[in-house]
Amino acid sequence: MARIYKIPMSKVVLTIFLLFVAAIAAAVAWSFNSGLLWTGICLVAVAGPLAIFYWYMLYITPKRAAITVADEGILLAAPPFASAVIPWASVVKVFPANLKTDDDFKIGKTKKFMEFIGYRSGVAELKNKQEAVIVANRIDVLCIQTEERFYLLGPSDMEGFTKDVETIAKQL
């Protein structure tokens, strides 16, 4: 019985991003009075590649992020910033946490990390000097503590994820 939980970026953020790119392209086109050819070259050479890069980072990367809860453990896949296999035998404790209000889970140094308007993915050192893998699109997360590190996970369906993890963790 494996269940997959997705962690996408908010559609509002993506819509605002597309509107921002369109506004920048319109401003560039308007500001160039040197003709359509140079305006087009500028848009293709500068705005196009930047828009593609940011679209990839804000849409494709979070869309691939997923947490699979299975009888053997938890598989975390959030490339390129975080991935892990957490066997149930290594889980010490499971409890809810809040990334904004819990001082123990404030982010200190980051190693491979992306944070953008509520979406977090990567490996970070917490203020208490412990390592944490964070993949969440919300501030309320489920903390899965192992001997090595904390896993702070917050998928879109937090209620279903919490229920599945607690059900399997109680059986152990």
Residue 136 lies in a domain: yes
- The pLDDT value recorded for residue 57 is 67
Does this model's pTM top 0.85?
Answer: no
Domain boundary among 47, 64, 81: 64
Q: Taking the chain, what is the end-to-end CA distance rounded to the nearest angstrom?
A: 16
- The pLDDT value recorded for residue 33 is 63
- The pLDDT value recorded for residue 154 is 93
Residue 1 lies in a domain: no
- The pLDDT value recorded for residue 32 is 65
Residue 86 lies in a domain: yes
Torsion angle defined by CA atoms of residues 69, 63, 152 and 80, in that order, rounded to the nearest 10 degrees: 100
* Strand order from edge to edge, sheet including 66-69: 3-6, 66-69, 73-78, 82-87
Which residues does 35 contact at the CB level (< 8 Å), separation at least 6? none
Q: Please count the structural domains in the chain.
A: 2
Query: Where residue 144 sits, what CATH number does that domain have?
Result: 2.30.29
Give the residue ranges of the chain where pLDDT is below 70. 1, 29, 31-35, 38-39, 42, 55-61, 172
Torsion angle defined by CA atoms of residues 16, 160, 80 and 151, in that order, rounded to the nearest 10 degrees: 120
- The pLDDT value recorded for residue 115 is 81
Residues 104 and 134 in one domain: yes
Residue 13 lies in a domain: yes
Which residues does 5 contact at the CB level (< 8 Å), separation at least 6? 66, 67, 68, 69, 155, 156, 157, 160, 161
Domain span holding position 97: 66-171
Residue 41 lies in a domain: yes
7-47 residue pLDDT tens: 887 778 778 877 887 777 777 767 666 667 766 776 777 77
- The pLDDT value recorded for residue 107 is 85
Residue 31 lies in a domain: yes
- The pLDDT value recorded for residue 109 is 85
Residues 86 and 36 in one domain: no
